[in-house]
Amino acid sequence: MSLLVVGLSHRSAPVSVLERASLGVDAQTKLLQDTVAAEPATESAVLATCNRIELYADVDKFHAGVAELSTLLAQHSGVGLEELTPYLYVHYEDRAVHHLFSVACGLDSMVVGEGQILGQIKDSLARAQETHTAGRLLNDLFQQALRVGKRAHSETGIDRAGQSLVTFGLEQLSLGAPVEGWARGKKALVIGAGSMSSLAAATLARAGVAEIVVANRTSDRAERLAQILTEGDDTNVLARAVPMTSVPFELTRADVVVSCTGATGLVLTADAVAAGVESRTGGEAPVVDLDEEVSSAPLPPTSVGTEEGCPLDLSAVRPGFSVMGEAAVAGMDAATLEQHAAWAAGTTVDRRRTGRGGPEADAELIGALAATASTAGRIPERRRPEPVAEPPRPEPVLFLLDLAMPRDIDAAAHRLAGVRLVDIESLAEVSADAPMAADVDQVRRIVSDEVAAFGAAQRAAHITPTVVALRSMAAGVVAGEIARLEGRLPGLDDRHRAEITQTVRRVVDKLLHAPTVRVKQLAAEPGGAGYADALRTLFDLDPETVASVSRAEESTEKNAENRGPG
């Protein structure tokens, strides 16, 4: 069997696709069950976060496994396979191990070095154990990933390379100002009471907000989080829980809103946000067109201007445009078009000389301009319009941080004056060019070493049942020969019988010791998987005996692992 991972993340897919492909808890459970029910897979685990969806499986066929896992991801995410496929990545065997270890260390996170992913990996393992889809391989893999992630954070400064997604998002809201100073005294509304929302609430409390209101569909969880915040030793914040129906009212009071729920639809619409801003400012929140361009509608009929012979009525030209540009000449008649073309070229038009029977060169020039105008409906732009000053946006009075996937807050809120919205998509854009700390190289070396160690341990473990079966067969041979000896020497006393038995066992153990130790060492090396087959062939071991040893070991391990991840 071999490890295979198929997935998509913020590195391979746009946020719009990740948003549509997100999986709720129930969908994850069903995906796990359907994966192990499929022919190529015997184990499965799902790692689903706000910016990644990955399906891990132990498969016996690579190509069939990729096809099956991709199809299952598409079916359960609701995104068609043809649409989803271009964004999927595949890792196999050691590359799959390397990928998960890198994820656990925060190297593959949107914000490098963030530690939130460790809790999400732990939750993924727990879910796979609860559904009984995690066997020896995935239990070993995920538990080792947790250890590698903890080692990276304890032995290096990877935490300095980035912050948690919450901290990073708050820094974007504060436009680079220290979060502590920016947040001090503000009122915060936290929508959701899960791990990410709880982290956001704790971060805001430590930053010095005056009040935190927690809204959640399950009132017990909201009240519990509010109690934890109120009783915290390192904070001095007032916290209270409210039902989701109170969110519109709380929007009129809050300065900062953080939302991270598992809802499949919008929690805050643009209209709800606009209403919240309106109640604070006393007027309707205008919509700002971030992509607004000055209209190029036809100008009023043109007449001769007064600036250096320009044939345009400058009073009819919109401010900010050059009279050399296409917007200035749109809609003019042919006679004025001819005059404007000559004026723009720095010459004058002698109507008496040129007219319709003027020089051939002038006729060709005018004909070309007229043909272009009749075909395209306008004169080609010869000079870029002068920049138009955009009216400044008003200072935000409401700061929104959306950490949910799919999004909780309508993206149209970006366009509302007085609102600053930071969501997963904008965080991805900002973090794409974030600098990497020098500690990242050290973490990469840790990951490489741990991948090699994990592979060696797995290969060695693969041969262990064969070695155990070999020693069991040898013990059976010894027992059979001792019984045969007793039949031939019935008068053998107990002392001599015990000495002979011990001697024969020592001989067998010494004969088997060196080859079994050496075969474990060889099996741990890359390409050592064939040594188990060699042992079974050389000693004519019963495959069922080897399999029964494996089942016994897995049963023992499962009893221990079902107690939960370490």
Residues in binding site: 49-52, 109, 114-116, 120, 192-197
3-state secondary structure of 58: strand
Burial 352-387, CB ≥16 within 10 A → b, else e: eeeeeebeeebeebbeebeeebeeeeebeeeeebee
Judge whether 244 and 268 are in contact, CB under 8 Å. Answer: no
Rounded to an integer, what distance in angstroms lies between the CA atom of residue 230 and that of residue 206? 12
Rounded to an integer, what distance in angstroms lies between the CA atom of residue 133 and that of residue 561? 12
Residue type, 519: V
CA distances from 534 to 88, 111, 473, 518 (A): 38, 48, 16, 13
Provide the CA 86 distance to its chain's centre, in angstroms.
Answer: 16
| Measured CA angle at 251 (ends 245, 253), to 5 deg | 120
The residues assigned a catalytic role are 50
CA distances from 12 to 6, 287, 393, 413 (A): 12, 33, 34, 26
CA distances from 476 to 98, 123, 481 (A): 42, 45, 9
488 C-beta neighbours (distance < 10 Å), count:
7
Instruction: Please enumerate, as own/partner, the contacts of 285-289 that have beta carbons within 8 Å and a separation of 24 or more.
Output: 285/416, 285/417, 285/418, 285/419, 286/416, 286/417, 287/415, 287/416, 287/417, 288/393, 288/415, 288/416, 288/417, 289/415
Maximum alpha-carbon separation in the chain: 145
> Which stretches of 175-242 are assigned E, i.e. beta strand?
187-191, 211-215, 238-242
Measure the N-to-C terminal CA separation of the chain; round to a whole number of Å.
Answer: 25
Rounded to an integer, what distance in angstroms lies between the CA atom of residue 109 and that of residue 112? 5
The annotated binding site for substrate is made up of 49-52, 109, 114-116, 120
Rounded to an integer, what distance in angstroms lies between the CA atom of residue 405 and that of residue 52? 10
| Residue 301 DSSP one-character state | P
Residue 286, token pair as written in the block: 């205008």
The annotated binding site for NADP(+) is made up of 192-197
Judge whether 188 and 235 are in contact, CB under 8 Å. Answer: no
Rounded to an integer, what distance in angstroms lies between the CA atom of residue 1 and that of residue 78? 29
Residue 484, token pair as written in the block: 């045969």
